[in-house]
Structure 1
């Protein structure tokens, strides 16, 4: 594949490496990858520039040669040697036998060659996990099928840790250690002033210490004096913290950085305190939804209970509830309990007498069924109501006036009703609610 620029971002390099990696795997599977592990080696033609110059073990890299391959060398391979790759004396192949024309050309005429995988990938292939020290890359200019080198380009990188590399040889620095202690000892109550002390060795190391709560910095960095840095804080929140001290040397060429081991530190809170006492809000009557209003400080959760005449109502554990008609004229109260890891605090509201609920509302109007003639029985259909009625009463009317004694769900018209309009008024009833009333559409009796 061809690359369109001489400078690549890491992202573009990763994208470029995928097809090259796939090609490498395919060639290896077919047993046709000739890495040129035999034959005489020619003189070094020049060096290579590593990009990026510093990076991580999982970063993609590409190397740019200081000049072109000889005209009689149409192909290249590249190998790497270093700690972990000793099993392959000639070095582990990191770029397979491929035509020079595969690669982009730098302004100096050199080749821009991306590695097919990352250094972490190569370490995994070789069966080791610790990248350390110097690693040497050799790009060999050669013919397609003759492993004899027609000239080499070389470059080196140094891993300063298992995950970080640079293209310059590191300067030897003095290692440091940092130890963190805290006073008073854990656990403490929220708001307590906690003194953190970082001891840096050797004591001659100069620099600053950052105190960390997880990844969050506590206060400002503190200058190390005679191997010690201290910080006092009262801002630790409730819970278990992982505290660390991170030392940064004033001169990284002389002393190395260090981080303390994590220090587990627990801050507890007092039992919750009532800020606003519990009370029932909303209209306290049958059918209404009411709320147990309360507030606590220091509570991590709040639970609720409702009481009828001082006795807990089974299953009523939500902050809000709809009052049942059976609670009419009874005393209703709510109880809230604030909880945290330390304890709990309860607040009970004053009792309130449940008032009569609103009148039942008609949903479907009452009606009269039957043959509307003298001598034929008329039947009242009560309609439907919200909430549902549990009983009904009836009043039959002739031309809007009540008919004496006509108070059942049925009525048989007499000759006195002939030619008159007949209606029925239904009264819907339910315990705890005011009665609802509705009148049917009139019918004319023939």
Structure 2
């Protein structure tokens, strides 16, 4: 004698001895339990800001552990609904190209013989500008008429920051760029330098530095 019993996936089966001991059983799971489906969409974590990295989690999928066929997952990131080329991993490094756009990620699950199923995350807030990190600056050279002074901004982050530099003598602009050579007109004045760092997709950052003492003849 044989009987077919159906159980929900994950249920346990206990067999009693006695009259049922000689019976044979075929245990099957419901087809609905085995079918692949998404029950919780992918999620994006991280702050949507240029220079930051977002991370995707694939969400919750039912039927993903059905043996012997395993489930494969692929990722595709989007900016305002347009696929970002080569952005096919679990993380996305945001650049100025994504500034002001909402980011989503689509996760596609593949498990033969079923057709692939895709689930998409909720969008992030529009990508905001990143922040430039300044560094310690130095002024080199003798603070004396006819001697050239130079400012070293240091290593600002990220790389490739562009600098606008203004030199002041008692608060009056006297030179632009990395170098300043005082003239007789600046004798007795205080030297200072103002540096602004900029990069596309980032808020400007600035540093101000004053020299000790005054310009000597």
Are 1:332 and 2:110 counterparts?
no
Structure 1 stretches of at least 4 aligned residues deviating more than 6 Å after TM superposition:
none
User: Are positions 1:314 and 2:85 aligned together?
Assistant: yes
1:293-347 residue CA offsets vs partner (Å, 9 max, x unmatched) = 4332223443321123433323323323231233222342211123334433211
Residue 289 (structure 1) aligned with residue 70 (structure 2): no
Any residues of structure 2 matched to 1:65-84 within 5 Å, and which?
A: none
Structure 1 residues not aligned, in runs of 5+ = 1-179, 193-216, 239-267
Q: Is the 8 A contact 2:4 2:27 kept in 1?
A: no
1:219 aligns with 2:11: no
**Distance (Å, rounded) in 2 between the aligned partners of 1:291 and 1:182:** 49
- Quote the RMSD (CA, aligned, Å): 3.4
The aligned counterpart of 2:130 is 357
Q: Which TM-score applies when normalising by structure 2?
A: 0.75
Q: Comparing both chains, which one has the higher relative contact order based on Cα–Cα distances under 8 Å and sequence gaps of 6 or more?
A: 2
Secondary structure of 1:416 counterpart: helix
Aligned-partner Cα distance in 2 for 1:369–1:182: 92
Seen in structure 2, the aligned counterparts of structure 1 residues 439 and 218 have a Cα distance that, compared at 3 Å, is: same
Matched length: 204
Cα distance in structure 2, aligned partners of 1:339 and 1:398: 68
Equivalence for 1:432: 201
Q: Does 1:407 align with 2:185?
A: no
Question: SS where residue 361 of structure 1 aligns?
Answer: coil
Q: CA deviation at 1:441?
A: 4.9
In the alignment, the residues of structure 1 paired with residue 146 and residue 212 of structure 2 have an alpha-carbon distance, to the nearest angstrom, of 15
TM-score normalized by the length of structure 1: 0.40
Correspondence for 1:376:
147
Say whether the 8 Å CA contact 1:307–1:334 is kept in structure 2: yes
| Residue ranges of structure 2 left out of the alignment (5+ in a row) | 65-70
